[in-house]
Amino acid sequence: MWFSIFLNSPIYLLLIALILLIKWIRKNQNYFKDQKIPYLKSPVILGAYADVALGREGVYRKVEQIYNDIKFKDEKYIGMFVFHKPGLFVKDLDIIKQILITDFNSFNNRYVASNIHDPPGCYQLFLVKNPLWKTIRSKMTPFFSTVKLKASYNLIEKLGRDLNYHIMIRFSDTHKKVEFNLKNLTDYFFVDVIASIAYGVEANTIKNSGGEFYEAANSIFDVKKIWRGFELSSLFLIPQIAKYFGFQIFSKFTTKFFYDVMPDVIAERKKSKIRRNDLIDTLIELEDELIPEHDSHTKLDMMIGQVGIFLAAGYETSSSTTSFTLYELSKQPDLQNILRDEIKDALKKNEGKVTYEMVSNSTEMPFLHQIVLETLRMYSVLSFIDRECTNSITIDNGRFTIPKGMPITVPLFALCRDEKYFENPLKYDPYRFAPENIHKIPPLLQNVSFGLGQRNCIGERLGLIQTKVALIMILKDFKIEANERTPASIEFEKKAIIIHSARKLLVDFVKDTFL
Ligand code: HEM
Ligand SMILES: *[C@@H]1O[C@H](CO)[C@@H](O)[C@H](O)[C@H]1NC(C)=O
Ligand SMILES: *[C@@H]1O[C@H](CO)[C@@H](O)[C@H](O)[C@H]1NC(C)=O
Ligand SMILES: *[C@@H]1O[C@H](CO)[C@@H](O)[C@H](O)[C@H]1NC(C)=O
C-alpha cells in the first residue's frame, strides 16, 4: 500500500531521474578511461572550462595550461570534458592538419553554437551549422574577392586619412606629445570602416568619439558587464548551458539596433533597384536565390545575422591587432624606426598616397607584413578554434576513432607560444617571419592566425588590409613612445573572447611628420 503511494509520487520519479543522471555522467566520465586515452580530470558536469565560466581564469591562460600540462607533455591529443561531454584537445600538427584541412568534410561545423531560440545569432556565418553554412559561405565569399576589396579600398583609405586627421587635431603648438588609449582609438576606426564598406553608412565614430554603431559593436563584447561576460563565455565554452538558458550571441542592444535599421535599408534597396555592391546587395541575393524554403521572417533573421557578424568579427579582431602592434613598437624603438623608414620609402614612391598595393601585396612592404604576422602570433586573436565531428573518423594510425558529435579544440594561442616551434616565444620578433627564417616555422603555423581549411576566416585579406592602413596612417606622422602609464607587460582580460588587454594601452604619440 505505502509502496504504491511511493510509486505514484514525484519523489520516486525524481529518484529514478537522479540515478539515470548519475549513471549517464559516470559513463561519460569513464569514456576516456575505457578508450585508454590520457585525459584531463575536471569537475563533474562543469568540465574543463569550469574556472573560465566562473570568471576565475581567462580562456587564454586555461588553453595554455592544458597545452603545457606536464602530465601530457608528449601526448598528441588529450581527452577533456566540455561541460559533461567528452571532447578532444589536439596538440599534434599532423592531426590538426587532418581535422582542419584534409578531412574537413568530417569536421565542417563548429561545436560552439547558439540555438534556434537565438535568431539572428544562430544564423550568422561563424556559428551556423551545415547545410546552411555552405550556402551562406559561398554566397558571402564574392564579397571578399579582389575586385570587391579594391572597390572598398578607397573608402578604407579615406577613413584612414580621417583617423590621421583626428589624431593630428589633438596636437597644438605647445603640445608635442599627446597620450592616447590605443584600443579606444583603433576601435573607432574599424567600426567606421565596417559600417562604410559593409552597410554603406558613414558612422562618424572617430569624429564623434563613439555613436550608435560603436555602441552596437561594443555591446557585443562588453564582457566587463558580469552577465554579458557569463553569457558569452557560456556560448563559447559550454554551449549546453547557453542553450538551456537561451543565451544570445548578439547583445540585446545590438539586436534591436539592427532590427530597427536594417529592414528599411533592405526594403529601400530592393525598391530602388540601385546596386552598390556592398553587403546589403549580397544579402538580397542570398535571400532571393538560396533559401526559398524559409519563411520571410527567418530570411530577415538570416540577413541580419550576417550584418551582425560583420561588425562583431570585423572590428575588434583588427583593433586588437593594431593596438598590440603599436604597443610592442612603443617598447622597441629600433623596430619602429625600421618600419617607419619602410613606410617613408613606400610613400615617397607613391607620391604620399597609401595605395592598395602597399597593403595587399605582402612583398611591397615586407617588414610591415612581418610585424603584423608577429603580432598575430603573440596575440592570437582567438585562444582556440573548435570543430564538431560530423562523421566518425579514425586518427593517429587507427589508435582512436573520433565519434560523431565530439567537440575538437585546436589551441591556437598555445601553439603560437610553444618554444618547440618558436624560439624564445615571449619575445616580439618580426624577423621570425623574414624570408631567411620562415623555414624554421612549421608550414602549418606560418599562417595559422586566421584559422585553417575551408572554415577559416573569410575576412583574412580585409583584416590584413585594414590593419595595415591603420598602422601606416598612424606611423607616417607619429612616433609612438611608452610612458609611465604604459603597462610593462600584458595581462589579458580574463573574460575576453577576442584577445584584449586587461589594462588600458596608454602610449604617447609624438608628432614626427615625414613629408
Ligand atoms: C586581424 C583580423 C582577423 C583575425 C585575426 C581573424 C581571425 C579569425 C579566426 C581565427 C577565425 C576562425 C577560423 C577557423 O575556425 O578556422 C575567424 C573566422 C571568421 N572571421 Fe575572422 N579574423 C579577422 C578579421 C575578420 C574580418 C575583417 C571579418 C569580416 C568582416 C571576419 C569575419 C570572420 C567570419 C565571418 C568568420 C567565420 C567563418 C566561417 O565560419 O565560415 N574576420 N576569423
Ligand atoms: C576615447 O577617446 C575619446 C577622445 O578621443 C574620449 O572622449 C573617450 O572618452 C575615450 N573613451 C574611452 C573609453 O577611453
Ligand atoms: C607584389 O609586389 C612585388 C614586389 O613589389 C611584385 O614583384 C609582384 O609582382 C607583386 N604581386 C602582385 C600580385 O601584384
Ligand atoms: C597564408 O594563407 C593565404 C591564404 O589563405 C595564402 O595566400 C598564403 O600563401 C599563406 N601564406 C603562407 C606563408 O603559407
Q: How far, in Å, is the centroid of ligand 1 from the Cα of 31?
A: 33
Instruction: Check: CB of residue 187 under 8 Å from CB of residue 213.
Output: no
In the prediction, which pLDDT does 276 show? Answer: 76
Ligand in nearest proximity to the CA of 450: 1
- Phi, psi (deg, nearest 5) at residue 500: -160, 135
Pocket test for ligand 2, best of 170, 209, 214 (most atoms within 8 A of CB): 209
Give the pLDDT confidence score for residue 460 in this predicted structure: 97
Tell me whether the omega of the peptide bond preceding residue 38 falls within 30 degrees of 0, making it cis.
Answer: no
Enumerate residue ranges in the chain where pLDDT < 50. Answer: none
Q: Are residues 81 and 6 both part of a single domain?
A: no
Q: Which of 360, 374, 376, 447 to mutate to test the pocket of ligand 4 (most atoms within 8 A of CB)?
A: 447
State whether the Cα torsion 327-328-334-340 is positive or negative.
Answer: negative
Distance CA 58, CA 221 (A): 15
State which ligand 4 atom lies nearest to the alpha carbon of 438: 13
* 3-class DSSP state of 173: coil
Ligand 1 midpoint to CA 450 (Å):
6
Per-residue exposure over 346-373, b if at least 16 CB sit within 10 Å of its own CB, e if not: bbeeeeeebbbebbbeeebbebbbbbbb
Together in a domain, 139 and 159: yes
Helix (H) / strand (E) containing 81:
strand 77-82
Whether 423 and 444 share a structural domain = yes
Q: What is the CATH number of the domain that holds 348?
A: 1.10.630.10
| Residue nearest (by alpha carbon) to ligand 4 atom 1 | 447
| pLDDT at 222 (0 to 100) | 79
Q: Which atom of ligand 3 is nearest to the CA of 361?
A: 1
- Asked whether residue 377 falls in the same domain as residue 503, the answer is yes
At residue 251, the pLDDT reads 84
Count structural domains, the chain: 2
Let me know whether 129 and 261 are in one domain. yes
Same domain, 73 and 32: no
H, E, C per residue of 25-57: HHHHHCHHHHHCCCECCCCCCCECCHHHHCCCC
Give the per-residue pLDDT at 64.
94
pLDDT for res 273? 80
The count of C-alpha atoms lying within 13 angstroms of the C-alpha of 398, restricted to the half-sphere facing its C-beta, is 0
Ligand 3 binding pocket includes 364 (Cβ within 6 Å): yes
| pTM of the model as a whole | 0.93
The pLDDT value recorded for residue 454 is 97
Q: Which atom of ligand 1 is closest in space to residue 382's alpha carbon?
A: 10
Nearest CA to ligand 2 atom 8: 209
In this structure, the residue with its CA closest to atom 8 of ligand 3 is 363
* Residue tagged 584531463 (cell numbers): 40
| Amino acid 210: pLDDT | 92
Q: What is the number of the ligand closest to the CA of 150?
A: 3
Q: In the prediction, which pLDDT does 88 show? A: 97
Tell how far the Cα of 327 is from the centroid of ligand 3, in angstroms.
30
Same domain flag for 12 and 41 = no
If one residue of 149, 361, 367, 468 were mutated to test the ligand 3 pocket, choosing by the most ligand atoms within 8 A of its CB, it would be 361
Amino acid in the structure at residue 380? S
- Cβ neighbourhood burial of 507 (10 Å; 0-12, 13-18, 19+): buried
Nearest to 69 by CA among 414, 483, 312, 429: 414
User: For ligand 1, which residues put their CB under 6 angstroms from it?
Assistant: 125-126, 137, 309-310, 313-314, 317-318, 321, 376, 381-382, 385, 449-452, 455-459, 462-463, 467
List of residues 6+ apart from 243 with CB closer than 8 A: 113, 115
Instruction: Supply φ then ψ for residue 509, to 5 degrees.
Output: -100, 130
Does 154 lie in the same domain as 58?
yes
| 154 and 12 housed in the same domain | no
Phi, psi of 152, rounded to the nearest 5 degrees: -75, -20
Domain match, 173 and 29 both: no
Q: Identify whether residues 172 and 25 lie together within a single domain.
A: no
What is the residue range of 21's domain? 1-36
DSSP result, 415-484: HTT-TTTSSSTTS--GGGGSTTTGGGS-GGGTT-TT--GGGS-TTHHHHHHHHHHHHHHHHTTEEEE--T
Closest ligand, as measured to the CA of 182: 2
| Residues 277 and 335 placed together within one structural domain of the fold | yes
Pocket lining: 361 vs ligand 3, CB cutoff 6 Å:
yes
